[in-house]
Structure 1
Amino acid sequence: MAKYVYPAIFTQEETGFSVWFPDLEGCYTCGDDLNDAIVMAEDVLAYVLYDYEREGKEIPKPSARNMLQLESEQDFVNDIACDTIEYAKLHNNKAVKKTLTIPEWLNEEAMALGVNFSQVLQEALLSKINAGR
């Protein structure tokens, strides 16, 4: 999971804007106004790229903005950024049970202190993930 930036083509419609990402199949959305279209574009971009990551699909390189063909004078290109880790945190946070093994003495000491094993494991995993970036 990572941070990405892709060019999106915005087209002003009679009511709002349509948005599509030429580098990503099926990645399009719309918005009632420009601000709404940008928010919706960030969301659909994160959704599609998160899906690519989960399925192990190759993530295409973003096109250079100046290489994109615009179909009308109503069209313009805007870069859209997203973070699939943040997307996953918001949309995929159901609890998953894990079994682990620790030495008996460590278990007894932690139990005596009232340690919340799930919390400690989550904190340690987040620390490890952040250190790996």
Structure 2
Amino acid sequence: MNFRFPAVFNKEDDGYNVDFPDLIGGYTCGIGMPNSIYMAKDLLRTLMIYNYYNVRDVKPSSVEELKKKYPNDLIIMINVNIADRYLK
């Protein structure tokens, strides 16, 4: 199953703090953008596997909507594909 949610990347020293405003339950960080995106994918995968029945009907916010709410941060859509067997 494919999941796609916007993540907010807040610049902090040599890395980024990452949050998914539409999903409750975690945040992450990374050193540099490639590592931060990797960590964001890992967090989204974890949130979806462990909270699937609570968040399966959550509709992702639009990037434009979040840019207004977080004008100083980067908004990036994060996509993960999870095998159905992990969501049961």
TM range (shorter): 0.7 to 0.9
The root-mean-square deviation of aligned C-alpha atoms, in Å, is 1.6
Q: Which structure has the larger Rg over C-alpha atoms?
A: 1
Runs of 4+ in 1 over 3 A off after TM superposition: none
Gaps of 5+ in 1: 89-133
1:1-133 equivalent positions in 2, closer than 5 A: 2-53=1-52, 56-59=53-56, 60-68=58-66, 69-70=69-70, 73=72, 75-85=73-83, 88=86
How far 1:43 moved relative to its partner? 0.5
TM-score by length of 1: 0.57
TM-score by length of 2: 0.84
The count of corresponding residues between Structure 1 and Structure 2 is: 82
Larger strand proportion of the pair: 2
> With CA pairs under 8 Å and 6+ residues apart, which has the higher RCO, 1 or 2?
2
Tell whether the 8 Å contact from 2:48 to 2:55 is kept in structure 1 after alignment.
no
Identical-residue share of aligned pairs (%): 32
The equivalent of 1:116 in structure 2 is none
Gaps of 5+ in 2: none
What's the secondary structure of 1:57's corresponding residue?
Answer: helix
